[in-house]
Amino acid sequence: MGRLLSMAASFVVLAGLAACSSPGRTAGGPPALPSSTSSPGLGLYAGTRPAAAPHGSVTVGTIRTTDGLVRSYRLFVPDSRLDRAPLLVALHGGLGSAEQFEANSGFDGLAASHGFVVVYPEGTGFLPDGRGGARTWNAGDCCGPAAARDVDDVGFVLAVVRAVSAAQPVDPDRVYLTGHSNGGMLAVRIACEAPGPFAAVAVQSATLTVDECSPARPISLLQIHGTADGNVPFEGGLGNGPAQVSYAPPRTAAATISAADGCARRTTTTVDPVNPDLVLERWRRCSAGSDVRFLAVTGAGHAWMGHAPSSAAAQLLVGPAYERLDASRAVWSFVSAHSRAQR
C-alpha cells in the first residue's frame, strides 16, 4: 500500500503539469500541423486525405465495468459519417486524458474527412474509484496506479467497442485500435490477448509490456517509434518518464506479433526516398494476409508526431513533436487498409 501511495503521489504531481495543458478544442478545426510536415515517399499516407474541420457531435458515455468502476469515453461522430462507418478506438498516453488526446491527435479532423467514428476511452486516476488525475492504463508491467491495481482495461476497451457498436452503425469488420505511449502499450496488450474485434492496430511510442503474447488469430500491427525517445528508449531499458519502468526494446512488440502471425523471419527494410529519417521494416508472408511493420523515425522523441504538445507544460513531459510525419494520418492509412472480411 505504501508503494502504491508513493507512486500515486508522484503521478499526481506530474498530472498537475498535464492538467495545465488540457487543451480543449480549438475553434475552427483540429490542431494545425506544422508547415514542414510532408507526405512521405513510403506511401505512409496512402488512401487518405488531409484532416478537415471536425464538424460533428461529441458525446460522453459511461460504462460500469466488471471490476466495479464507472468508466467513461468521448465519442466523436462526424456529420459526414458513413452509413456503415469504420470505428477507431484511440487510447491516450499516461497522464493524458480522452479530451487531451482528442484535441492533440487531430483524429476528429481525419474522421470528418473519411466518415469514420472515433472513440476516446478514459484511463483511470489515482483514487480507488478510478477518479482523480494522473490517468494511466494497465498494460501489464506499465503503468502507474492502473497497473498496480490490476485494473481490467482490456475488458473496458472491449466494452466500449460493444457500447459504441450498439449505438452507431459501425461496420464490425472495420474496427481499429490505436494508442500513444502507455495507451499504445495497452493496444499491444489487446492485440496479444483479445484481438477479436479489431482488424488492425497501430501505435506510437509503445512496446510490449506483457510476458505472454499469443493472439487467437493473426492481427496486423504498425509500430512507430522515434530513435530519440527517452521515455520509452529505442534500444530498451529504463525510461526517463514518470513511470520509471525498464522497457523491452520497442521492436520486440512487432517481432513478437509477427512470429505469432507466422510471418517470414527475414524482413525488408526501406529508407524513405523523400525523408530519410523514416526507415520502414516489414515482415512478409504472414498468415491470413496480416501485415506487420515497424517504422523507425530518426531523431524523433516521445511526443505524438506531427502534432505539437498542447502547452509548454506538456512539452516538459513528452518533449517537442517531430514535425515531418503526421502520425495520425499514417495510423489511419495503415489501419483503414485492413478489414476482418479480408481474412
Res. 160: pLDDT tops 50: yes
What mean pLDDT is predicted for residues 237-263? 95
Domain that holds residue 166: 2-15+40-335
Strand 70-78 versus strand 85-91 pairing type: unpaired
- Per-residue pLDDT tens digits for 174-202: 999 999 999 999 999 999 999 999 999 99
Indicate the pTM of the whole model: 0.91
- pLDDT band at 74, cuts 50/70/90? very high
- pLDDT band at 38, cuts 50/70/90? low
Check residue 22 and give its pLDDT.
Answer: 39
Instruction: Residue 292: give its domain's CATH number.
Output: 3.40.50.1820
32 lies in a domain? no
Distance CA 198, CA 177 (A): 7
55 lies in a domain? yes
- Check residue 33 and report its DSSP letter: P
Check residue 213 and give its pLDDT.
Answer: 97
The C-alpha cell at 80 is 459526414
21 lies in a domain? no
Distance CA 190, CA 161 (A): 13
26 lies in a domain? no
169 lies in a domain? yes
189 lies in a domain? yes
Residue for grid cell 501485415: 291
Check residue 241 and give its pLDDT.
Answer: 87
Within the chain, residue ranges assigned H as helices are: 2-20, 98-105, 107-114, 144-148, 153-167, 182-193, 251-260, 312-318, 327-336
What average pLDDT does the structure give for the chain? 90
Distance CA 81, CA 263 (A): 35
The CB-side HSE value for 308 (13 A sphere, CA atoms) comes to: 11
Check residue 37 and give its pLDDT.
Answer: 65
299 lies in a domain? yes
235 lies in a domain? yes
Weakest mean pLDDT among 72-76, 282-286, 306-310? 306-310
Distance CA 338, CA 336 (A): 5
Residue for grid cell 467513461: 72
Number of domains observed in the structure of the chain: 1
- pLDDT band at 309, cuts 50/70/90? confident
- pLDDT band at 40, cuts 50/70/90? confident
- Per-residue pLDDT tens digits for 262-281: 999 999 999 999 999 999 99
- Per-residue pLDDT tens digits for 89-145: 999 999 999 999 999 999 999 999 999 999 999 999 999 999 988 899 999 999 999
